[in-house]
Copies of this chain bind each other. A is one copy, B any other.
Amino acid sequence: MTSSGTIPIGELSRLTGCNIETIRYYERIGILPAPVRRGRFRRYDTSGVRRLAFVRRARELGFPLDTVRTLLFLAEGGGHSCEQAREVAEIQLADVLAKRADLDRMAVVLGDLVQACGAGDAAGCPLLEALSD
């Protein structure tokens, strides 16, 4: 047993639900550290798995990768963690709410237009005419 508890990238991918190419991409841009290798093959231990899982969860909340970097740093005990973490989360929340508001507006308009097109009586398509103004 040279490195008993370690897994190859494929298994890390399965464990975390993260694409292999994405894992290598994260390594390239410094989100994940270059792991130990057995020959040419990357080998990940539990800390590697935990770190990637962290990244995935952060990404699921929509945090951009640059912010994920900050969150990783904070999670490793950098500075006034909770305070700063809350700050970036607030910014992210505001961003999410703004995007949702945009989508809401789109959904209303699209819903109306689909409806109007469904009840197709009048000459001309309501949808196409709305776009043509």
A111 to B61, CA, bound (A): 11
- Of chain B, the residue at the smallest CB distance from A93 is B110
Select A104's contact among B100, B109, B125, B127, beta carbons within 8 Å: B100
- Of chain B, the residue at the smallest CB distance from A125 is B82
Min distance, Cβ A73 to any Cβ of chain B, angstroms: 10
Residues of B within 8 A of A62 (CB): 103, 106
Min distance, Cβ A127 to any Cβ of chain B, angstroms: 5
Interface contact B61-A128, CB-CB below 8 Å:
no
Q: Does A37 contact B (CB under 8 A)?
A: no
Interface contact A86-B114, CB-CB below 8 Å:
yes
Q: Does A39 contact B (CB under 8 A)?
A: no
Q: Does A36 contact B (CB under 8 A)?
A: no
Interface contact B117-A85, CB-CB below 8 Å:
yes
Interface contact B110-A96, CB-CB below 8 Å:
yes
- Of chain B, the residue at the smallest CB distance from A99 is B103
Q: Mark A35-73, 1 if CB is under 8 A from B, else 0.
A: 000000000000000100110011011100000000100
